[in-house]
A = this chain, B = another copy of it.
Amino acid sequence: MFELPDHHTAHYFLTAGETDAQGLMPMTLIIARCIEAATEHANILGIGYDALKEHGIGWVLARISVEMQRYPKINERYSLTTWIEGLNRLYSDRCFELCDAEGHAIGHIRSMWIAIDMEQRTAADLTVLDLSRFPISDRRCPGPKPRKLPPLTDPKETEYTFRYTDIDFNRHVNTVQYVRVILNQWSMQFFDTHRITHFDMAFHQECHYADTVAVKVNEDGPEARCEIVKSDGTRAVAASLKVISNE
């Protein structure tokens, strides 16, 4: 049998139009590129959306933790290598290393993917798939595993309503749009004077078109926290940011 590659590397160039106001790779694009590279690797392995669809199941991102030492700059080349670090009946752990043009690691990302039954929208059993198509890599992602993100106490609160461009083919809100809504809780002055070193997200419930959600922010202590809460009070998404000052 053709040997399945236990990792996949994609190469990119950060164009001017893709940068944030600081001329750096934005967190929205980091997460979009991770999902893209994961999709490419899964397709090569024969465990992509198309393969899962035959079983009536689909991949859903449940957790993502980004740790950045440095961000690619405008006109900089970078690569993203992804591999599967672990697997059980319910989820697959996929990691990423973001490298500069010289191959030095400047970021590490961990993600946890679950398979859901597309009709019932409930967790599916990964063992219905050919598990030999999940080559577990020996590579290890440095840094701690994601922690629980407890509910916020006494947060600031604003509202957001999801619209057409927030929704993808799954008919729920696209991951990158949650990141966009969360980042926009902070001011330009904040991003001009700080850099995110850790960005951690947990996805609990799907949001849909026209849902109006509460966006809650708590900035006490060294860590900023954000929650997207549905109108029935259930938590859709939780995030935590650690930042350092540029000065």
Contacts and interface: CB of A to CB of B under 8 A. Distances in A.
Interface of A: 13, 15-23, 26, 28, 32, 35-36, 39-40, 49-50, 74-75, 163-165, 167-171, 174-176, 180, 183-184, 186-188, 191, 209-210
Contacts of A49: 16, 75
> Residue among A20, A35, A187 with the most chain B CB within 10 A?
A20
Copies in the complex: 2
A210 to B, nearest CB: 7
Contacts of A40: 13, 15
B17 A174 contact: yes
A137 to B, nearest CB: 22
B15 A36 contact: yes
A26 B163 CA distance: 13
A214 to B, nearest CB: 17
Contacts of A23: 169
> Residue among A18, A74, A170, A186 with the most chain B CB within 10 A?
A18
B164 A21 contact: yes
